[in-house]
Chains A and B, each alone.
Chain A
Amino acid sequence: MLEIKNLQVKVAGKEILKGIDLSIGSGEVHAVMGPNGSGKTTLAQVLAGRLAYEVTGGTARFQGKDLLAMKPEDRAREGVFMAFQYPVEIPGVSNAYFLKAALNAIRKYRGLEEIDAMDFMGLVQDKAKLLGLDETFMKRGLNEGFSGGEKKKNEVFQMAVLEPKFCILDETDSGLDIDALRLVANGVNTMRGPNRAMLVVTHYQRLLDYVIPDFVHVLVDGRIVKSGDADLARNLEKHGYGWIVEEAPKPQPARA
């Protein structure tokens, strides 16, 4: 589904990703873990199309198409979704309005008719229940005055309504209490399926106790230095990142 080759990215002139290779197949859940500043969020953001990130090398193909050449809205319409680490508050735009606009933009791109108001409300109510969001929430301004937990739930709620093919979860567990974490994880798990892939970016094991990944990759200083299965994540939780950083091959200094 997603094929990343030698991806290199600069942010504000600084090299953050130094050659990422990652292949994610349909139905798979991949976790990318790593210490702070390793480039996890950059990887998530560059796949979603954040403009401030400058791709200096490599490729990313999504279902055979050049993902990096697409505008952010076209990536979304093709089926890419990123749950933001810091969702934006937009007072004056209700959650309902925003989500309907998004859903219809995606449907239009796929040649489907716009969803009518009744069907939309039905769809939204089912998904909201799944995440324990009450009904007044749809009328409130987009993320306006939401707690950290509510914002993260809203991200997964949007994901559930928009039904993307490829989900990127950027530190979705940060700032969640255990009850919220369980709801969010449950929301994510109900979306797992043979036709959908996920990339879970996280610093901690916490979320991965509930959303069990098929593959775990450790990102250190802009490179994937180790890959494994769910056990790798548990090891990291127990022993920290230190041992991997030690083990990681250092770039050889150029010889004179």
Chain B
Amino acid sequence: MRPGDIVAVALDAKETYVAEFASAEADLPSPSWLRGIRRSAIERFEAVGFPTQRHEEWRFTNLAPLLRVPFKPAIIGGPDGVVAEKLEPFAFGILKTSRLVFVNGRYAPRLSYLRSLPEGVRIASLAEVLRQEPGTLEKYLARFARFQDDPFVALNTAFFVDGAFVDVPKNTVVDEPIHLVFVSTARDVPTIAYPRNLIRLGAGSQATVIETYAGWAPEVTFTNAVTEVVSAPASVLDHYKIQRESEAAFHIATMAVEQDRNSSVTCHSMSFGGALVRNYVHTLFRGEGGSVGLNGLFMPSGIQQSDHYTRIDHAAPACTSLELYRGILGGKSRGVFNGNIYVRKDAQKTVARQVNKNLLLSKEAFVDSTPGLEILADDVKCSHASTIGQLDENAVFYLRSRGIDEENARHILTYAFASDVVNQVKVAPIRIKLDQLILSRLPKGADVGETL
């Protein structure tokens, strides 16, 4: 495609989305404070439009296939065909969780259930909270994910209908993980959804939140999700985002985390599905002594594209960040890792480590890895490393020399490559599930799983 064509596609798409807002606005859940934010967001979007590959951050991502599809929001109340059995593969074995399910961006009470929760803990539909207590979220919602910087966050902010609100009061520990399931379906026409989540952790509280994005081939869907996390002092959050939409799905997601002092957040991002997936994780240390772990695995094959942009903003001193991302790319797939660690002038005693390793399983797979450190403080310990390679043939031979056939040897080594990231997962049933998902992505992975 000539550069001029993509510009025209992006312009057309922009006008469509802006016009869509004018007709949708009245039906969106909007207390007055939010109405203004939505307007600003769509105006911002109208001003900047969709990015093209001329934008530095979008250099490796061609959005034309996404922008050409005329997506529509799912019709309210229309049958979506999602029943509880269809969601079973997305559970985690014996793991007991409360579960909120959203179908095409709307809360589905019939598929959701809450188990017994400690006093004061809320797990609710964001839309319901906005309707019933319009003021509750004003201080938090749309304060951390900046729509000014990102057209997709702007679109989400303008259009979101629903999502999860998770609120853990201070000094409260929620033992069981909270599972948020976002299902994308498209019965007749390609469907768009804008899940919007807010996770608020009170001082000294602790929780585990899992976001699963689910869908089924060959349905063409577009999920544009935003999750905001605000962590009060000394709180602990273990967050998982597991992307398992269909390989015909488009998925662009932003996670914005703001951490107060001594808080600890781990963001696991495991990406398997999607035709075009882009994850953006942005964390900010607002107070000193915090720690963050970004732990990612992306495993595209076929003609999938899986992009991962991260930014860790060390705005306060004595915080620690550890980032591990691994890519395993097969077929003709494409992947991007772009990690940016920003250590501000006053952020002394920062410890930051970033490692991105990529394994190419075929000659036609391609990954672009751009690690980045920008350090303005002078008393810090920071490092980054990035590798791209194939399986070690010495290791393949070693396994074969013990009687393991070549294909199995390659599977075992591929599985082993992912283990660094998988081993960061503290919840055993999630770890087991990830092992299964990794193996299921390999042609004869089931054989390897049997002997595990």
Contact = CB atoms under 8 A, between A and B. Distances in A.
Interface of A: 48-51, 71-73, 75-77, 81-82, 84, 87-88, 90-93, 97-98, 100-106, 109, 141, 158, 162
B395 interface: yes
B158 interface: no
Contacts of B419: 91-93
Contact of B416 (A75, A93, A100): A93
A88 B395 contact: yes
Contacts of B415: 92-93
Contacts of B451: 97, 100-101, 104
B408 A76 contact: no
Contacts of B398: 84, 87-88, 90
A73 B405 contact: yes
Contacts of A101: 404, 408, 412, 448, 451
B7 interface: no
Given A73-B404, A93-B413, A97-B451, 13 more contacts: A51-B393, A71-B400, A72-B397, A72-B401, A77-B403, A81-B402, A88-B398, A90-B399, A93-B415, A101-B408, A105-B404, A105-B405, A158-B402
A51 B398 CA distance: 12
B401 A93 contact: no
Contact of B406 (A71, A102, A141): A71
Contacts of A92: 415-420, 423
B406 A162 contact: no
Interface of B: 392-395, 397-406, 408-409, 412-413, 415-420, 423, 448, 451-452
B420 A91 contact: yes
B452 A105 contact: no
Contact of B402 (A102, A109, A141): A102
17 contacts: A49-B397, A49-B401, A51-B397, A73-B400, A73-B401, A76-B400, A76-B402, A81-B401, A84-B401, A92-B420, A92-B423, A93-B412, A98-B412, A102-B404, A105-B405, A158-B402, A162-B402
B10 to A, nearest CB: 42
B452 A82 contact: no
Nearest to B393: A51
Nearest to A86: B394
Contact of B400 (A49, A104, A141, A158): A49
Contacts of B409: 73
A77 B402 CA distance: 8
A72 B400 contact: yes
Q: Which of B393, B404, B418 has the most CB of A within 10 A?
A: B404
B401 A82 contact: yes
Given A93-B416, A101-B451, A106 B403 contact: yes
6 closest A-B pairs by CB: A92-B419, A92-B416, A76-B403, A102-B402, A72-B400, A105-B403
Contacts of A105: 402-405, 408
Interface SS majority for chain B? helix
A123 to B, nearest CB: 15
Given A92-B415, A93-B412, A102 B403 contact: yes
B446 to A, nearest CB: 14
Contacts of B395: 88, 90
B452 A97 contact: yes
A130 B412 CA distance: 28
A92 B418 CA distance: 8
Nearest to A101: B451
A90 to B, nearest CB: 6
Contacts of B405: 71, 73, 105
Contacts of A48: 401
Point out which of A73, A75, A76, A77 has the most chain B C-beta atoms below 10 A from its C-beta: A73
Contact of B403 (A51, A93, A97, A109): A109
Nearest to A103: B403
Contacts of B412: 93, 98, 101
Contacts of B448: 101
A103 to B, nearest CB: 8
B441 to A, nearest CB: 16
B400 to A, nearest CB: 4
Nearest to B412: A93
Contacts of A77: 403
A102 to B, nearest CB: 4
A91 to B, nearest CB: 7
Contacts of A158: 402
A199 to B, nearest CB: 15
A75 to B, nearest CB: 8
A71 B405 CA distance: 9
A73 B398 CA distance: 10
B401 A162 contact: no
Nearest to B418: A92
B402 to A, nearest CB: 4
Nearest to A144: B416
Given A50-B397, A51-B397, A88 B392 contact: yes
B406 A90 contact: no
A192 B234 CA distance: 62
A97 B397 CA distance: 17
A90 B409 CA distance: 11
A237 B56 CA distance: 67
Contacts of B413: 90, 93
Contacts of B416: 90-93, 141
Nearest to A72: B400
Nearest to B421: A92
Contacts of B406: 71, 73
Contacts of A109: 403
A158 B448 CA distance: 20
Nearest to B419: A92
Nearest to B414: A92
A182 B402 CA distance: 25
B401 A76 contact: yes
A124 to B, nearest CB: 14
Contact of B394 (A72, A75, A88, A106): A88
Contacts of A98: 399, 402, 412
Nearest to B402: A102
A92 B412 CA distance: 9
A5 B395 CA distance: 30
Contacts of A91: 416, 419-420
A73 B407 CA distance: 11
